[in-house]
Amino acid sequence: MSVANRQRGEVEAVLDGKPWVLCLTLGALTELEAALDAPDLMALARRFEAGQLTAADAVRVIGAGLRGAGNDIDDASVARMRADGGAAGFVAIVADLLTATFGAAAGDG
């Protein structure tokens, strides 16, 4: 497994006991804009800064991050994964990924 490079917006997460690298590339962000009906990147960032995160959003963000890092995995598979700490663990992964992508403000919500 490769090591995450924060300078490139990558983060590491353990899902189902396996380490993964996640990255919200422009393609992954485009995927999220469409899935979350956000008209642009700023609207997407504002949504997450406001702390609006559903379980479905978490699946989409983690899935997009996994695919952005080159993993071949669909959202249905992501939805079946487990994280240490349960739901709080998934929220922590999403917050870390959003912070790496948008900066500290996006992860504060």
Q: How far is CA 50 from CA 23, 32, 102, in A?
A: 21, 16, 13
* pLDDT value of residue 109: 46
Number of domains present in the structure of the chain: 1
Which residue in this structure is represented by tokens 């959202």?
75
pLDDT exceeds cutoff 70 at 19:
yes
Rounded-to-integer distance, Cα 29 and Cα 3, Å: 21
58 occurs within a structural domain = yes
> Residue 39 pLDDT > 60, yes or no?
yes
Q: Does residue 84 lie within any of the structural domains? A: yes
Task: Look at residue 30 and tell me if it is in a domain.
Answer: no
Q: Phi and psi of 83, rounded to 5°?
A: -125, 150
What is the C-alpha radius of gyration for the chain, rounded to an integer number of angstroms? 12
pLDDT of 29 above 80: yes
Which pTM does this prediction carry? 0.89
Mean per-residue pLDDT for 21-48? 93
Does residue 1 lie within any of the structural domains?
no
In a domain, 71, yes or no: yes
Question: Is residue 69 situated within a structural domain?
Answer: yes
Looking at the DSSP bridge assignments, the partners of residue 14 are: 19
The answer to whether the CB of 97 falls within 8 A of the CB of 10 is no
Question: Does a structural domain hold residue 5?
Answer: no
Give the pLDDT of residue 106.
53
In this prediction, residue 40 has a pLDDT band, given cuts at 50, 70 and 90, of very high
Q: Which residue range(s) make up the domain with 77?
A: 54-109
Is 90 domain-assigned? yes
pLDDT at 59 over 50: yes
Q: What is the pLDDT of residue 16?
A: 96
Q: Of 56, 60, 62, whose CA–CA distance to 89 is shortest? A: 62
